[in-house]
């Protein structure tokens, strides 16, 4: 179901191991059933299971060797690989702001990059902080809320940092948020903003 419903790695990774084992077992069960129903000599039928196991071990060893070599190559270029990930630099900047603005980040458009943040990321298509609440949406999400409404959402979630992807609202002008937010970092992919000090103190007072 997950394979056909989504190709998102973070949804598939929890089930990929058991899925692979079940796939191999299904192939094994079908082949074994065919062999048992065939008119092959008895010794050949009895040899099916150990031969199949041996072939599977050889294939697994070859795959492991290839993946190990690939992993070593990736580790040599790890920084370059991570730098190429969408919004990784923005999340990295947000990490440096945790001591001042806390470990919660409200994001819009970069849900797959949540693992880059060293705190709690709020914002996704579903669940708490869903995009339908954070943007003007009808059949699809198109434009950002005004800054005052966004402040209310952030205070509701206890977040003081906001990360927004340009692809979610291509016409968004950060000056619209200048009354309540300060732009910390802006790239071709998105904008990282923080609540200004007055809102920061209001949030601390509520806590």
Cα(98)–Cα(115) distance, integer angstroms: 15
Mode of pairing for the β-strands spanning 161-165 and 104-108: parallel
Per-residue pLDDT band for 2 (boundaries 50, 70, 90) equals low
Beta-carbon contacts of residue 10 (< 8 Å; ≥ 6 apart): 112, 115
Summarize pLDDT for 25-60 with one digit per residue, the tens. 888 788 778 777 777 677 777 777 787 778 878 887
- Sheet of strand 161-165, all strands in order from the earlier edge strand to the far edge: 120-122, 104-108, 161-165, 190-195, 181-186
Count CB neighbours of 134 within 10 A.
25
Summarize pLDDT for 103-162 with one digit per residue, the tens. 999 999 898 888 899 999 999 888 888 888 888 876 666 788 888 999 999 999 999 999
Summarize pLDDT for 66-109 with one digit per residue, the tens. 888 877 877 777 677 777 787 899 999 999 999 999 999 999 98
């Amino acid at each position: 179901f997950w394979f056909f419903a989504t190709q998102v790695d973070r949804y598939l990774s929890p089930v990929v191991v058991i899925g692979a084992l079940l796939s191999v077992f299904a192939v094994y069960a079908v082949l074994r059933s065919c062999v048992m129903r065939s008119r092959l000599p008895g010794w050949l039928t009895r040899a099916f299971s150990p031969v199949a196991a041996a072939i599977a071990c050889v294939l697994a060893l070859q795959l492991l060797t290839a993946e190990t070599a690939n992993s070593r190559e990736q580790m040599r270029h790890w920084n370059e690989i991570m730098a190429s990930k969408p919004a990784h630099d923005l999340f990295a900047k947000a990490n440096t702001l945790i001591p001042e603005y806390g470990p919660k980040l409200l994001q819009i458009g970069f849900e797959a990059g949540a693992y880059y943040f060293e705190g709690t990321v709020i914002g996704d298509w579903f669940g708490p902080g869903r995009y339908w609440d954070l943007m003007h949406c009808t059949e699809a999400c198109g434009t950002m809320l005004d800054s005052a409404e966004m402040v209310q959402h952030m205070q509701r979630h206890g977040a003081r940092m906001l990360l927004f992807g340009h692809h979610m609202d291509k016409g968004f002008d950060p000056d619209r948020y200048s009354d309540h937010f300060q732009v910390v970092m802006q790239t071709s992919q998105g904008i990282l903003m923080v609540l200004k000090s007055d809102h920061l103190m209001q949030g601390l007072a509520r806590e």
